[in-house]
Structure 1
Amino acid sequence: MKQLTFYFDFVSPYAYLAFERLPQALQGLSYTVRYQPVLLAGLLQHHGQRAPAELEPKRVWIYRQVAWQAHRLGVPLRMPAAHPFNPLSLLRLALACPEAGDTPNRHVCEKVFRHVWEGGLAADDPARLAALAAELAPRQDPAGDAVKQALRHATEEAARRGVFGVPTIEVDGRLFWGLDSLDMLAACLGGEPWFDGPQWDDAARVPLGVTFGRP
């Protein structure tokens, strides 16, 4: 049985859709999932990337594509009242639910994802956050230093392993990024011979050519 690590940030609509789609995409395969919250902003800063929402035409396109993908997949989705928002409170709440040193289970992640992506309300509204925390009854203090450090460490470790965005799923040291990588992940778990050939490693050996946007 393979263990997958699902790296995500609740701020990402693609992470939400991948979370909802994962059981269907991998149906019939043998695996377990470790759900690992990370701070997307920290990953972007580490790798020197701009946030997608910083480019207005791209931001609008993402929202349109996400709405279409949700419609096509049959996943309920309504954009929160404002996006992006600061996801730190939600990430820390999720990490505070299990015992120290563990990661949240699927039930906790589902509750938080749906808090954000169903209903069209403000994801960071203090009253809604308080109600969500009361429902989840975290075992640790979400505002405590231990939880804050756990999120910081998880983000740094993910970046060290090559994670540059969310959702990313890791299995056997291989990283599968994005909602549209679920089919590729399923093929890998299903024993597709392509993954035993040279193509995976060869792709990493292509030399860098022109660097756009740099002097």
Structure 2
Amino acid sequence: MPKLDIYWSFRSPYSYLAIDRLVSIRETYAVEINFRPVRPLAMREPDFFERGRKQFLPYLFRDVPREAQRLGLGFALPTPDPINMDMVSGKVAPDQPLLMRAMDLAFAAEVAGKSLDFAQALSHRIWTGQAWADDDALSDVTAQLGLELATLDEWIAENRQEITTTLEENEASQLEYHWGVPLMVLDGEPFFGQDRLDSLVWRLNEMDAKRG
């Protein structure tokens, strides 16, 4: 069975644009999916936005809503932003509790085999401007998946070192292929960006991996 590693970030709008199609791939193709959350560049390279080109954010703010419209997806800026940063200077705060809470819960949801589903449900809240970061919102998201927030939090508290180790492994593995997200690696072949999902599907069809 083909193996598909998915490197993905809650702060990436392009990851959000890809998530429904990634879930569809899981349902359509006989493929072993390994969902591998990573921190955004704002955390992995804290000076990324400070040294970035001035065209980056204006283009992003134009392109993402356009792609969402093309794909028939809702879109609005997150409230709150998963990353605490000054959007003028690009300076990123050293502590990022909101982003890390989302990632911790994704790792916890994987114990039940539902990390991809958790990412789908939560990212739809984040990137359509809905409440997402408080316990009420997170309880709603986990309940949709048949999970309990309190149970996930208990697992997180008991497995902190495992989460840290897995995250380090994810980010080191990602950099073997690319630095950005979403990044899909099918049996060692990388496909970077939500605009390469058609290429990924083409390759899966070439491999005759579609479920019968």
Normalised by the size of structure 1, how large is the TM-score? 0.69
Q: Which position in structure 2 is the counterpart of 1:179?
A: 194
**1:96 and 2:105 aligned:** no
Distance in 2 (alpha carbons) for counterparts of 1:42 and 1:104: 26
Identity among equivalent positions (%) equals 25
Distance in 1 (alpha carbons) for counterparts of 2:139 and 2:25: 33
- The residue correspondences of 1:1-150 to structure 2 (distance < 5 A) are 1-23=1-23, 29-41=29-41, 45=45, 50-51=48-49, 54-83=52-81, 85=83, 86=96, 87-99=99-111, 104-118=114-128, 120-121=129-130, 124=133, 128=137, 135-136=148-149, 137-138=151-152, 140-141=155-156, 144-150=160-166
CA deviations 1:72-129 (Å, max 9, x no partner) are 1112222203546142221112112233xx87433222222223123x1465457645
Distance 1:54 1:106, change over 3 A: same
**1:168 and 2:183 aligned:** yes
Distance in 2 (alpha carbons) for counterparts of 1:89 and 1:80: 15
Q: Which has the larger radius of gyration?
A: 1
Gaps in structure 2 of 5+ consecutive residues: 84-95, 208-212
Native 8 Å contact 1:36 1:104 kept in 2: no
RMSD of equivalent CA atoms: 3.5
Distance in 1 (alpha carbons) for counterparts of 2:13 and 2:190: 19
Counting matched residue pairs gives 186
Distance in 2 (alpha carbons) for counterparts of 1:124 and 1:57: 29
Determine which of 141, 158, 170 is the counterpart of 2:174.
Answer: 158
Gaps in structure 1 of 5+ consecutive residues: 193-215
Native 8 Å contact 2:126 2:132 kept in 1: yes
**In structure 2, the residue corresponding to 1:140 is in which secondary structure?**
helix
CA deviations 1:21-70 (Å, max 9, x no partner) are 2355788544232211111338953xx99359954532122122111111
Deviates further, 49-58 or 150-159: 49-58
Distance in 1 (alpha carbons) for counterparts of 2:4 and 2:130: 31
Distance 1:103 1:27, change over 3 A: closer
**1:190 and 2:188 aligned:** no
Native 8 Å contact 1:5 1:36 kept in 2: yes
Distance in 2 (alpha carbons) for counterparts of 1:27 and 1:149: 29
